[in-house]
Amino acid sequence: MSANGLVQIEGLTPPGNAHRKTSKVMLLFPPEWVPTAPYLALPSLTAVLRQAGHEVVQKDINIEMYDLFFSDTFLFWISGRLDLQRRLLEERERRAALTDQETDQLALLREKCTVEVFDLAERAAEAKRIVRSQDFYDADKLEWALNIFREVMQYISAAYYPASLVFYPMESNLGYRPGVSREVFACLEDEQVNVYRDVCRQLVLPVVNREQPHVVGVSIGTQMQLLAGLTFCKMIKQAFPHIHVTVGGNVVTRLQEEWPTHPQFFNEIFDTAILYEGEHALLWLLEALAGGRPISSVPNLMYRGTVGVETNKEIYTEKTTALPLPDFDGLPLDQYFVPERILPYLATRGCYWGRCTFCDHGQGYFDQYRGVPAHQVIEQVLALRDKYHCRHFLFSDESYPPALFKKVSQLLVERNAGIKWTTLIRFEETLQDQELWYLAAKSGCCTLYYGMESANERVLNLMDKHAKKSVMRTNLMQASQAGIWNHVMAFYGFPGETRDEAEDTRRFILEHQPYIHSVELFYFVAYRHTPIVRSPEKFGITIHKQPEYDLPLDYYYTLNEPGGLSCLEAMEMAEQFYQQDFHPWAVRVNAREHVFLYISKFGTNRLPQIYAKPEDRLRGTDSVSGLVTWPVALGEGDGNKEDGPTMTRVVSHASGG
């Protein structure tokens, strides 16, 4: 046992088990996530399992789903579904038996049944060709393609009325609240709105039947993936009851207190759940299922025991320097909606700062911040570059440490690596040398995402963030001067913040617009695993827990004393910012990876072609990605952190340290 009380399991097999039985494992990554690059969870798990001799089939169902949605096969199938629903409702209409909702649904069905599906399918195919070809770099063509994707999603949505399926991803709404267990269970069975049941039938069950794995693992990293992931689990269990289904990911860890109170999850949906980091926990689970060790000895594991749901006490944290290179073999690397391959890479686990009172991204880890040395980072990135013929990387760390930022930049230049990269970063006093920013740009750094949160130093100190406005200004100016694209994330309404202090943030952003190339401004959300929720009285708030929200990831709160911004006032200020001040930052492409590739291609952060045209800004419509439509909060983040913000549409205000 280590000094911090964790049981550290050194061996990969039980003593005396030299001839370990190998298994066949299928790993699934469910929707919804961005369709621009693989997520790191599956390749990290795959590398450890394959190193131990297990056969692994890894499937990114997220990208396969979008590829399917924008195909003639699926759209013709949707056309048939729409027609069948229309005829059934028209029969009810003749009997004067329609409800108000069915009347609205029938009107929508009649509208969509007039769509020329052959033409829509042809345009969808052309849109996919554009985003995967050099035409991607023509901003007019790219915007056209993105708008076609939106049109297709509206067409598909009509077949799952009243669900709203949206492109850009992570904004879809099936009408069920993922924080309410009874609604989750109902959604899993709902054939009308749950599109993931059809996705499972067409993309998941056939491959499970063909491969016949011993174990299926489903990685659920964000709350937006919860309904899809659990749908897949339940349908696999129903179709293949002999297959062991396990779940993992950040959301599974965050809800570890709730799973045992709902035995239905373990009785009907999955067999085991892996908490915290999963590479070796999954490896040892395979050994336990093969009879090589007691299941009670598998760390990080929750399972159905003889007396109910049990959680093993041992917790294992990965040794980052000893982990193998992520293994992307088997993933459709040329199927993502980008013209160049982009791969994620993680050098650190946890956040080196780790003090922000609003942040719960570290909940996916049990242990402290860890990382690999700069020279190992370089060797692994170059190995991935050469193996997968990839020169664009998402450094997916919670917040890139300044010492590592400096050293990695230096080594990439010395090795003439020839890569392009992006990451999340914190404003730091040690990064105020202009030559350092030139070096970072020379090393291939194209875009940086800063968790500014506020531009008022009193509020920043309340957050335990302790950044200085002068440092923010210098970092932004110097990075911009070097040609790096600066994306700033902030939010209104941290408990105790006054309206005037919130205005400081707005003024700072507007005054530094020449150095801030894109921005997200949201409102404070009380995530359940944060210091502020654990000690609400310290921050002058009252947390309100609603009984029906029995799978909560955040809570509603009120202020104990007047003077600060209420939750509602913060929301109104954020909406006002998007309506009145956001126009200089309205872009026509709304994925961080798309902006990243544009900067890589054109070699500058001055990209007027990707911003909204003046006439679109004046119209104030949503014809432009993110224009007026302000971001949706995602309580994202996990051990393989791939949840950096997407341009103007998706905010994760706990990012960037």
Residues 6+ apart with CB under 8 A from 93: 106
* Mean pLDDT value of segment 328-350: 97
- Structural domain includes residue 325: no
Average pLDDT, the chain: 90
Regarding whether 295 and 282 lie in a shared domain, the answer is yes
- Structural domain includes residue 5: no
Regarding whether 386 and 525 lie in a shared domain, the answer is yes
pLDDT tens per residue across span 499-542: 999 999 999 999 999 999 999 999 999 999 999 999 999 999 99
Regarding whether 467 and 580 lie in a shared domain, the answer is yes
Regarding whether 378 and 302 lie in a shared domain, the answer is no
- Structural domain includes residue 516: yes
The Cα 498–Cα 77 span in angstroms is: 54
Residue 625 is given by DSSP the state T
* Mean pLDDT value of segment 249-270: 95
For 410, counting Cβ atoms within 10 Å of its Cβ (0-12 exposed, 13-18 middle, 19+ buried), the class is: middle
Regarding whether 229 and 271 lie in a shared domain, the answer is yes
Which residue is it, tokens 């000893």?
322
Buried b (16+ CB within 10 A) or exposed e, 319-355: ebeebebbbbebbebebbbbbbbbbbbbbbbbbbbbe
- Give, for 574, the enclosing helix (H) or strand (E): helix 567-580
pLDDT band at 415 (very low <50, low <70, confident <90, very high): very high
Give residue 627's pLDDT. Answer: 31
Domains held by the chain: number: 3
Torsion of CA 120, 126, 131, 136, to 10 degrees: -120
| The pair of three-digit structure tokens given for residue 194, joined into one six-digit string | 């749950």
Regarding whether 222 and 78 lie in a shared domain, the answer is no
**Residue 4: pLDDT over 90:** no
**Residue 465: pLDDT over 90:** yes
Instruction: Note the Cα 132 to chain centre separation in Å.
Output: 22
- Structural domain includes residue 253: yes
Range of the domain at 222: 24-62+181-311
- Structural domain includes residue 4: no
CATH of the domain at 278: 3.40.50.280
Give the DSSP letter string of 320-335: GGGSPPP--TTS-TTS
CATH of the domain at 442: 3.80.30.20
User: Sign (positive/negative) of CA torsion 206, 62, 423, 387?
Assistant: positive
Which residue is it, tokens 């045992």?
260
Residues 6+ apart with CB under 8 A from 640: 39, 40, 41, 44, 221, 344, 346, 396
CB-hemisphere CA count at 13 Å for 174?
Answer: 27
pLDDT tens per residue across span 103-162: 999 999 999 999 999 999 999 999 999 999 999 999 999 999 999 999 999 999 999 999
Regarding whether 394 and 532 lie in a shared domain, the answer is yes
pLDDT tens per residue across span 53-68: 999 999 999 999 999 9
pLDDT band at 618 (very low <50, low <70, confident <90, very high): low
- Structural domain includes residue 520: yes
| The pair of three-digit structure tokens given for residue 183, joined into one six-digit string | 């609604």
| The pair of three-digit structure tokens given for residue 41, joined into one six-digit string | 């969870």
The Cα 62–Cα 492 span in angstroms is: 32
Regarding whether 393 and 409 lie in a shared domain, the answer is yes
Regarding whether 147 and 32 lie in a shared domain, the answer is no
The Cα 310–Cα 260 span in angstroms is: 8
Regarding whether 598 and 547 lie in a shared domain, the answer is yes
pTM value is 0.91
Regarding whether 591 and 464 lie in a shared domain, the answer is yes
Regarding whether 475 and 524 lie in a shared domain, the answer is yes
| The pair of three-digit structure tokens given for residue 334, joined into one six-digit string | 């040329």
Give residue 361's pLDDT. Answer: 75
- Structural domain includes residue 656: no
**Residue 591: pLDDT over 60:** yes
| The pair of three-digit structure tokens given for residue 613, joined into one six-digit string | 């045209």
- Structural domain includes residue 75: yes
Q: Percent of the chain at pLDDT above 90? A: 86
The Cα 324–Cα 630 span in angstroms is: 40
Helices and strands (DSSP H and E) totals, the chain: 23, 20
